[in-house]
Structure formats: C-alpha cells, structure tokens
Amino acid sequence: MTTASKRAAEILKGLAEIRPWQENLYRDIHRHPELSHQEHRTANLAADKLRGLSYEVRDGIGGTGVVGVLRNGAGPTVLMRADMDALPVEEATGLPYASTVRASDAAGNEVPVMHACGHDVHVTCLLGAAALLAGGSDHWNGTAIALFQPAEEVGDGASVMVDDGLTTAVPPVDVALAQHVLPAPAGHVGTHRGPVLSAADSMRITVYGRGAHGSMPQAGVDPVVLTAMIVVRLQTIVSREVAPTDTVVLTVGSIHAGTKSNVIGDQAVLELNLRTYDESTRSAVLAAIRRIVIAECQASNSPKAPVFELYDRFPLTVNDAEVTERVSDAFAGFFGERFQPMAAQSASEDFSDIPKALKAPYTYWGIGGIDNELYRKALDAGRVSQDIPVNHSPTFAPVIQPTLDTGTQALVVAALAWL
C-alpha cells in the first residue's frame, strides 16, 4: 500500500462515524429536490454543514452556488465539485423517501420534481468527504475546496458561478475533481482518459409554410410535409457525412405543428439534440443541419427562411491524461478489483467550465449505483438496457449503500493523491 493509500485509509476510518448522518441527509435531499437555479434549501444545507466543519464559506455565487475552503498548511489546492439540481420528472421509484414535490419551472409551469440524475448522491458524498478531510487534517497538507454547483441540468450553472466571481472566491487551484453516479454496479469506480463526456447542443428550428384548407393543399405550403422531409434527411448526416470512427448522436425529440386535422398550418417547430466528442465534428454537423433545413425549405417553396435557435449547450469534457493516470493509480491501490476503466459516456456536463476558468487540469469519473444482484441478473439475462433504470428515468434510484460509501471514498482517495 502506498503512502497516500495509507493516509486515505486512516482518514476513511471516520466513515463509520459519519455514515448515519450521511444516509439521513441523502434521504432528506432526495425527498426535497429543487430545480435548476432554485437550489436554495440544498445550498443552505451544504453551507451550514461546511461552516460546522470550520470551512471558510461563500454562498450565493451565481445565485445558489456554494464554496467551502479548508486551509491546512502549505501544499497543493484540490477542488472537488458536486452539482445540486434536480429534474422536472415525476418519481416512480416507490421508495419511502420518494419525492412528491411540485414546483414552477423557469417558464412558470407547474412540474413534478425528482432527483432522477443522482445529484443528491453527489452532494452527500462531497459533504462526507469534506467532513473526513476536516477530521483527518493530521494526515494531509494543502487546501481542500468543496464546491456545490447549481443548474448543471440546463448547462449554465458552472458558467454562472464563474461570471459571478468564482475565480476570486477561491485560491489558485492545482487540480479539479468531479464524479457522477451511473447505472453500473454499486461499489465500483471507473475512470477514462481523454474525451469522457460528449459536447451537447440543443437546437430549436422553426420552418414556415402557407396555411390552407386540408382539402385544398395546392393553395398552401404544408409545413408538416416539409418537417417530415427534414427529419428523414437529417438521419443521413450521421450515416453519410460522419466518419464511421467518429461518434455522433443526432435526435429529433420534438415536433409541433398544426391545430386540426383538416387545416394546413403555417409553421412547424422541431427540437433536436446533438452529441459529439470532437469540436471539428461538432461544427461540421451543426453546419450540415442548417444546410439541410435551408435546402428542404427551398425545395418546398417555403415563404420564409427558417429560424435556428441554439440552447442548452454543454462543453466537451476531456479528462487530463496525467491527472487521470494519477487518480486511476490511487483508485487501483484502494479499490482493487472494484476499480476498472470506464467507457466514454454520451451524456454531457458543464463541470469543465469551472477548471477551464481556474486554469486547472481536471478529471471526471463514474461510480456505480445499482444493486449488484439486480445488475448481475440483468447482465446474465442480456437485459441490462431493459431492466436497469438509467439517469433521468422516473425509476432511477441508486442504492444508498455502498453507493454513498464509495463516492465518499473516491473523493478522499483522489484528493489525497495531491494533498
């Protein structure tokens, strides 16, 4: 066992002591989820806990962001980040601590709210790691930063914190760390060098027709037919314009057009989502989408040019090779067979906006959250995709243990690779 592993083991002896309040806190946060930019209760819980651990706390950064700084002598500065927001999803887990919360979203609509992505796990694990580092300060030197970020789900929480002065709220950072609970066996940890999470772009496209009676199509320009042609043609971007060695996902998730069966409307709105792992590919595909839409509008004799709106944009997450190797070595030494390489994920994150602003290298890893027996049965039956709920599902429910223990251990072990 390395010196760092021995120090981690000493600090993690305190896990048994904090486990009861961690588990209770997790249930509480899960039961009281908050939408993006509305994480006031969660932020207050995090800030109060950090103050009780003697961290220097700044809250309200970017609205609800919280930063805790623990200085423990000379040495490197390690930033650990957790996201706090929940999703407009109605929970269907049947758990005794399931959410029944309803709230108003950014558009003023009342929606159900659920921690369907595991951010409640992230907050709880980071607070646990913060407590263990504070209690085990005899075993490390340097500065530990616990950062609780709002609005990851809408892709702007990190940039909002940066714009609100994050870089002056913390000392210079040597390395930034983050993790995410995934639909993998609980207790397992995985890392990945290079591009680990895709860049994401959502696009809203409005195309225009000319309204007419359904019995007289010759008098109109049908935006429904136009939209259908666009959807079909967009499928050729991935199959015919992207190299087979590149990974691209293009999904048309929403189409709105018309009001009645015998009325040809005057416009249609498509919403699509793009995932890419390379900036040049990202630019090429976005350009291809515009080219195809404009061409189909011209082919249909559309009376107006289409309107394009990009929103919910997420940066590419690229793990630093040296940082990832250092964390991987630490994980291998501590977790043994429970540590393994992780495939790149098609999900997206805005975490990288924080280390980019702080000019710090970073790595982002995954922890499993699914009951091991349930996962094994699904794997043996070849039904993982069908039987294992994934993030954003109304039935996504990480098991409390060993998920919380593992996420807390991972943060401590990774931080001590520097501290």
- Pick out the residues of the known binding site for Mn(2+): 117, 119, 153, 180
| Residue 143 neighbours by CB under 8 Å, 6+ apart | 69, 70, 71, 72, 75, 76, 77, 78, 171
Distance CA 106, CA 344 (A): 31
Output the CA torsion sign for 334, 347, 324, 61.
Answer: negative
Distance CA 185, CA 17 (A): 25
The amino acid that residue 15 corresponds to is: L
Q: Do β-strands 56-61 and 65-72 pair in parallel, antiparallel, or remain unpaired?
A: antiparallel
Angle CA 357–327–85, to nearest 5: 50
Looking up tokens 């243990």, which residue turns up? 401
Indicate the annotated binding residues.
117, 119, 153, 180
Q: Which two tokens stand for residue 57?
A: 């706390």
Q: Which two tokens stand for residue 243?
A: 């190299």
| Residue 3 neighbours by CB under 8 Å, 6+ apart | none
Give the three-state DSSP class for 156. coil
Distance CA 77, CA 235 (A): 46
Q: Which two tokens stand for residue 338?
A: 């429970």
Q: What is the dihedral of CA 173, 71, 12, 186, to 10 degrees?
A: -40
Contacts of 153-157 with C-beta under 8 Å, sequence gap 24+, read: 153/36, 153/83, 153/85, 153/86, 153/87, 153/117, 154/36, 154/37, 154/85, 154/312, 155/200, 155/312, 155/313, 155/314, 155/348, 155/350, 156/350, 157/36, 157/37, 157/62, 157/65, 157/83, 157/85, 157/350
Which residue in 257, 256, 239 sits closest to 248, CA to CA? 239
